Amino acid sequence: MNSQILLAEETPAPTKNAVQPEMRSARTSSDERYAAAARLIQVTAGSFRFEARDLHLQRGRHTAIIGPNGAGKTTLIEALLGFRQAHLEEAQILGVAAAHFLQSTRHRKRLGVQLQRVEYEDSSNVREILDLHQALYGRQDPQVGQALDIDALRKLPYRALSRGQKQRLDLFVALAHHPELAVLDEPFTGLDRAYIKRVAHLLRHDLADLTIIMICHSEEELDTASDVVWVCNGGVKYCGDKETLKNHLVGAFHASLRLDDSQRLNAIRRQLESDSATLRLEMSSDTEISVYGTQQLDQSIRTLIANVAFQHFEFGPTDYRDMLHICARGEQHV
């Protein structure tokens, strides 16, 4: 059985190739406010470098880690949890020095983890995995099992599970015991629409009091979060309230304007750039402008539409999909 999923299992003593975070635990003061915190996280892997300083993830919050592919989202989580070799200074998990936390069966029972790349032995069956989870944690919330329809998988061999079924099993193992901290890696990946809705409801309502840190790629995942960590170019560009980042990056209003007259369009672009309500303006193509701004931009756009014969236009309130799109591209405006 893979101990990275059922974290309460004992793990062997580190070898020379195992994760050995560097700690200054004697100078680390416990702070129960944070689900995870570190003064410094550094990871080097070939040409890839990742560094985060003064990272603090709040307890009682659902935090989404967002950013481009390859920017370091998984690296950040794996470094904190000890699954990747890293240099850590004053790192804590649930108020306990990270190195001590990961060496303790008692503390590891406080975690729930779902990772994309973890597999169980093909010879295992789902019933064995569920029985082991029950034996380790002593609790399995029936609401979690019902949302994930886990009883339908109980009699199946692990090797027979589809990708979506494996994801349901992994989410159950991570969440059913109501851990103090759940770490999820793209929890909706592989799930069909019905289960995405179920899991989203579970996170928003039945498990709303859990502390959750999740790597997020979809709008549905982001909708369940209250905070965000924006990882970009091998570092953390923002850590805090989700709405604050949205307002900073894309504001409250968005418009797309298409005009085949490039000269006229450039004049409109300059006009919008000088508008105090504009936060961000992009030329989607030679014939199309995409502009984001405060609510006051609404009137400017309506005036333009009344006076210019655009081939196509769309405008309205921004949403978190707009923010996620910008962050996934890796732009650095924070």
Residue ranges per structural domain of the chain: 25-240, 251-317
Structure-token match 């923010």, residue found: 323
Taking alpha carbons only, the member of 191, 34, 37 closest to residue 114 is 191
Taking alpha carbons only, the member of 309, 264, 316 closest to residue 290 is 316
- Surface-to-core class of residue 321, CB atoms within 10 Å of its CB (0-12 exposed, 13-18 middle, 19+ buried): middle
Rounded-to-integer distance, Cα 221 and Cα 187, Å: 7
* 111 membership: H or E segment, kind and range: strand 111-114
* 63 membership: H or E segment, kind and range: strand 62-66
State the CATH class of domain 25-240: alpha beta
What distance lies between CA 239 and its chain's CA centroid?
A: 12
Burial 168-195 (b: 16+ CB within 10 A, else e): bbbbbbbbbbbbbbbbbbbbbebbeeeb
State the CATH class of domain 251-317: alpha beta
> Token pair of 106, please?
């008692």
Taking alpha carbons only, the member of 179, 172, 183 closest to residue 79 is 183
State residue 102's pLDDT score. 82
Residue 59 C-beta-side C-alpha neighbours within 13 Å? 13
- Distances 75 to 44, 47, 155, 216 between C-alpha atoms, Å: 10, 14, 35, 14
Residues 1, 132 contacting (CB under 8 angstroms): yes
Strand partners, 50: 43
Taking alpha carbons only, the member of 121, 192, 205 closest to residue 162 is 192
State residue 121's pLDDT score. 84
**Cβ neighbour number for residue 278 with a 10 Å cutoff:** 19
Task: Note down pLDDT in tens along the chain; length 334 residues.
Answer: 343 445 454 433 333 333 333 333 333 455 678 999 999 999 998 899 999 999 999 999 999 999 999 899 999 999 998 888 999 999 999 999 998 898 888 998 999 999 877 778 878 899 999 999 999 999 999 999 999 999 999 999 999 999 999 999 999 999 999 999 999 999 999 999 999 999 999 999 999 999 999 999 999 999 999 999 999 989 999 999 999 999 999 999 999 999 999 999 999 999 999 999 999 999 988 999 999 999 999 999 999 999 999 999 999 999 999 999 999 987 644 3
